[in-house]
Amino acid sequence: MLIQYVCVFDEGPALSCDYGVKVNTRQVALPKNLATYSPEPREHFDGDLKWIKRDALVSILRDLSGTKIGTSHEMRGVAHF
């Protein structure tokens, strides 16, 4: 999964850019309450590829694993799963 700083999150100007994880939603089952965002218009758009905020995904994985996973300050664009 690609991790990158992107500006695709529709949460107002101050929150539209953040680290995201690009996920193929046909290959990865996501919780229904996890917000997904479409790629930027200039990207090749495949309806199955969505961005998820990295910290939201880390939070879900942390809950599933019951163990400590790196904080966003430790991650800086690299997944520590």
> Average per-residue pLDDT in the chain?
78
Distance CA(68)–CA(61), nearest Å, equals 10
Of 14, 76, 9, the closest CA to residue 39 belongs to 9
Confidence of residue 41 (pLDDT cuts 50, 70, 90): low
Which is more confidently placed, 18 or 1? 18
Q: What is the structure's pLDDT at 81?
A: 42
Whether the predicted pLDDT of 79 surpasses 50: no
Of 80, 76, 59, the closest CA to residue 18 belongs to 76
Q: What is the pTM of this model?
A: 0.68
